[in-house]
Structure 1
Amino acid sequence: MRQRRFMNQINVVPYIDVMLVLLVIFMVTAPMMPTGTIDLPSVAKSTPPKPQSAPLQIDIASEKDWTLRDTAKPGAAAEKVGKEQLLARIKTAQGLNPDQAVVISASKSVRYETVMQVMDLLQRNQVAKVGLLVRQPEN
């Protein structure tokens, strides 16, 4: 008597039949599904943006040479400040105007670590709006 050999191939025809039936079901039911609507705000309903005040600018020339300038006051000169003076002046300025931002400007020769130390100092003292000032290169 001969032994039966096992079939080592998978018959994929039943799988294709099932997939075609599912495809037909989805094609028939898809147009019946309800579509979602999104209510977009109209221009009349939106609130106008608040005018932003000019930021405080911290110029970093070297690791220990920092100046603070209030750009809201056009005639105000930049003042050399240390860590404690910087924090005190920023706190008093933001006490008068809590929405006033602080921007940091550094020369190319300053190490990025120094800029990060100033940002960390401001963040640890709950100064909310801190940004970096970028200058466009001259052509």
Structure 2
Amino acid sequence: MSLGIRRHRKRKLKSEINVVPYIDVMLVLLVIFMITAPLLNLGVDVTLPDGKAKSLQQKQDPIVVTAYADGRLALTRAGESRPTAMESGALTAQVAGIVRNAPETQVLVAGDAQASYQQVWNAISTLKEAGVDKVSLMSVPGAAGQ
């Protein structure tokens, strides 16, 4: 009698999908993409734009931080005609002192045409460390569209 009972108990088909192999493949692809993604990060040379906009009239002369292609920074204080090259720490201290005494002072960043975006961004980060809330970028007026 037990033989008859065992024969009637056949395996039922499962209607579920076994997702374990798909998870394995997905994890392998994830590892491959995590390894190859940083290798695909290529640098792009950018020529900073020229602008048609007219310059803004300010009551006070702005201070200008210049970022050069080799990573150097220079500061041109209000009323000066030539930039003074200085290290990042000294520049931070100088700008922090100027902004502390006159918070309404406009701060501009001028990037050399051959300077990479990273050098300009480093100059902006240095100014943020000095406590400057608003930073403007300089361009060459009137040269666009020629």
Q: Does 1:69 align with 2:101?
A: no
Does 1 or 2 have the higher relative contact order (CA < 8 Å, sep 6+)? 2
Q: Which of the pair has more CA radius of gyration?
A: 1
Structure 2 unaligned runs (5+)? 1-57
In the alignment, what sits opposite 2:60?
A: 53
Q: Distance in 2 between matches of 1:93 and 1:124?
A: 13
In the alignment, what sits opposite 2:83?
A: 78
Q: CA 1:86/1:118 → structure 2, altered by over 3 Å: closer, same or farther? A: same
Q: Distance in 1 between matches of 2:100 and 2:114?
A: 33
Q: Distance in 1 between matches of 2:62 and 2:117?
A: 21
Q: How many residue pairs get matched?
A: 87
In the alignment, what sits opposite 1:97?
A: 102
Once structures 1 and 2 are overlaid, which stretch shifts more, 88-97 or 117-126?
A: 117-126
Whichever residue aligns with residue 136 of structure 2, its letter is: G
Q: Distance in 1 between matches of 2:128 and 2:110?
A: 16
Q: TM-score, normalised by structure 2?
A: 0.52
Is contact 2:93–2:130 with CA below 8 Å preserved after alignment?
no
Is contact 1:58–1:105 with CA below 8 Å preserved after alignment?
yes
Structure 1 unaligned runs (5+)? 1-50
Q: Does 1:112 align with 2:117?
A: yes
Q: Distance in 1 between matches of 2:81 and 2:102?
A: 17
What is the CA deviation profile of residues 64-115 of structure 1, one whole-angstrom value per residue up to 9, with x for unaligned ones? 3211001x22x45321111101101101111221110210001111101111
Is contact 1:105–1:132 with CA below 8 Å preserved after alignment?
yes
Is contact 1:58–1:67 with CA below 8 Å preserved after alignment?
yes
Q: Does 1:134 align with 2:135?
A: no
Name segments (4+ residues, structure 1) moved above 4 Å: none
